[in-house]
């Protein structure tokens, strides 16, 4: 059965992992990422970018700077005929230094609050959803809710492969997308 929605991590899954990416000039789509996102769009699979942004809590950049790069990503996607339904992000980190953000929370992966909110708003069934990411925290979030999960071997995926148990492992986002929609 085709999925209705995909929750996709950003850094290391959609774009090159460069450590706290927050400037447009540092944002670089991974090879095949736009093709993967377009493939989901062509199959009417809703797209949710789900990203931890600890750099905000740690004072490396602001929410406004995060929004600028998010807007850039969305513009590129739109020009490639890709519809991102929503970008969900957690600006918190318990080891942060910025007041109001330096907290433990329920929205930071592997916690599931952001996903649960989307499920409730859209009346999705867990079997209709998939989560794709390059870190254990991504996979653990999806697993906690009973979702199918894909660990991509980009970003931190290769080094975290042995520490997590995804439903599937894929070379990259495009390989995951092809598997999910059933094309080779």
Catalytic residues: 9, 11
Q: 36 Cβ partners below 8 Å, 6+ apart?
A: 172, 173, 174, 176, 177, 178
* Residue carrying structure tokens 């942060």: 96
Its sign, for the CA torsion 135, 137, 140, 145, is negative
Helix (H, G, I), strand (E, B) or coil at 184: coil
> What is the rounded CA–CA span in Å between residue 158 and residue 84?
26
> What is the rounded CA–CA span in Å between residue 178 and residue 173?
9
User: How many beta carbons lie within 10 A of that of residue 54, not counting itself?
Assistant: 17
């Amino acid at each position: 059965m085709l999925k209705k929605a995909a929750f996709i991590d950003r850094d290391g899954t959609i774009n090159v992992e460069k450590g706290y990416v927050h400037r447009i000039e540092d944002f670089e789509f991974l090879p095949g990422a736009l093709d993967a996102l377009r493939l989901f769009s062509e199959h009417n699979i809703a797209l949710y970018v789900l990203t931890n942004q600890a750099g905000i809590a740690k004072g490396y950049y602001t929410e406004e700077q995060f929004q600028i790069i998010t807007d850039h990503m969305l513009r590129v996607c739109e020009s490639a005929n890709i519809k991102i339904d929503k970008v969900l992000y957690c600006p918190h980190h318990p080891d942060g230094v910025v007041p109001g953000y330096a907290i433990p929370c329920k929205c930071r992966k592997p916690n599931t609050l952001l996903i649960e909110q989307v499920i409730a708003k859209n009346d999705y069934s867990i079997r209709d959803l998939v989560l794709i990411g390059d870190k254990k925290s991504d996979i653990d979030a999806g697993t906690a809710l009973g979702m199918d999960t894909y660990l991509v071997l980009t970003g931190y995926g290769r080094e975290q492969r042995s520490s997590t148990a995804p439903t599937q492992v894929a070379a990259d986002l495009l390989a995951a997308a092809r598997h999910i929609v059933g094309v080779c």
